[in-house]
Chains A and B, each alone.
Chain A
Amino acid sequence: MKVTIKTYNAVAYWRWDAPSDDVCGICRVQFDGTCPNCRFPGDDCPILNGKCGHSFHLHCVNDWIQTESSRGLCPMCRQKFEFEAE
């Protein structure tokens, strides 16, 4: 069988610098993708790296921190959630 390529679409590939098997501890989506509330990966859905070693989508951890019951603690290790300022 002979195939002639008439046209093709280039597809750009984008990813975070985070290991691809890392998932957000809240929504369980890989950091390659956005949180479930966002559509496109990129700066609009950044990742926060907590000083405790746990990382989350900003949107996910923000929703958690906004709840009164979170008391500002990391949902994984229950230490105060503080993140590295970029």
Chain B
Amino acid sequence: MSVDERKIAERMLMLELKEIQKENWVNAEAQNGNLFLWDVALVVLNPTSLYHGAYLKAELKIPKDYPMSPPEFRFLRPLFHPNIYKDGKLCISILHQPGEDEMSGELASERWSAAQRIFTVLISILSLLDDAEVSSAANVDASVMLRKDPEGYKRIVKENVETSKRDIPAGFQMPTSMDNKPPPKEEEDDDFWCDSGDSDFGADSDEDMIFGRVFSACGSRWQAAD
């Protein structure tokens, strides 16, 4: 059977992008209409988050065989965080293929699968920000500082947050709370191939299970030297 994987990917990504564009905690756009490369910004609305008010720009690269393989995510401005590499890439298990680095101790259940979605990836990344996994550090400095000097760590995060605000586009109205969603954008497209298919997107129990959980761990485990 010859399978044009790209066809699955394009159709799914079109629906997923539309769904994600209804959310107020994320700005997402296909780069020049290319569904396989998204400009994304995570908007941290939770007032109890250390990152409250941040506007975190990122790039999402989606493989042609999506959803069989996970997307690649990279923050454009690197953040000082135990699980974020200096190039802005993340160490988070939901972005790992289930077969990668067997030794890392990650549970297979936290890894990517064809039933995962970009929506759940973005939610996992947001929750990783305030819930760092210090035992598997991508940035050892940040990991050490978080444990030994939490106040200093917070100061650097605050600087990161302030810097990120420079990326807020002119005219962008920062939503004030998590519940204050803007009215859904237009999205009816009657003869689109599967309107019905996206009706429960983001609302089924399998996604609720993932919602809010942190998936983080790297292949390179780091042991505290003290």
Tell me the A residues contacting B by CB distance below 8 Å: 21, 23, 25-30, 32-33, 35-37, 59-64, 67-71, 73, 75-76, 78
Chain B, interface size category, equals 20 to 34
Evaluate whether A30 and B115 lie within 8 angstroms (CB atoms) in the complex, with A37-B3, A67-B68, A67-B69 already known.
Answer: no
Residue of A with least CB distance to B16: A28
B115 lies within 8 A of A25 (CB): yes
Which of B92-100, B148-156, B157-165 forms part of the interface with chain A? B92-100
A70 lies within 8 A of B8 (CB): no
Q: Which residues of A contact B68 (CB under 8 A)?
A: 63-64, 67, 70
B8 lies within 8 A of A33 (CB): no
Asked if B225 is at the interface of the complex by the 8 Å CB criterion, the answer is no
Residue of A with least CB distance to B198: A28
Evaluate whether A69 and B4 lie within 8 angstroms (CB atoms) in the complex, with A28-B15, A28-B198, A29-B197 already known.
Answer: no
Closest 7 CB pairs of A and B: A69-B99, A75-B113, A75-B115, A69-B97, A75-B114, A64-B114, A29-B197
A63 lies within 8 A of B7 (CB): no
B200 lies within 8 A of A23 (CB): yes
A63 lies within 8 A of B115 (CB): no
Among A26, A67, A69, contact of B115 (Cβ-Cβ < 8 Å): A26
Query: B192-203: contact bitstring with A at CB < 8 Å (1 yes, 0 no)?
Result: 011011101100
Evaluate whether A68 and B194 lie within 8 angstroms (CB atoms) in the complex, with A28-B15, A28-B201 already known.
Answer: no
CB distance from B3 to the nearest CB of A (A): 6
CB distance from B126 to the nearest CB of A (A): 22
**Interchain CA distance A62-B201 in the complex, whole Å:** 22
Interface-centre pick from B97, B111, B112, B115 (highest chain A CB count, 10 A): B115
B98 lies within 8 A of A76 (CB): no
Among A25, A37, A64, A75, contact of B4 (Cβ-Cβ < 8 Å): A37
**Interchain CA distance A75-B115 in the complex, whole Å:** 5
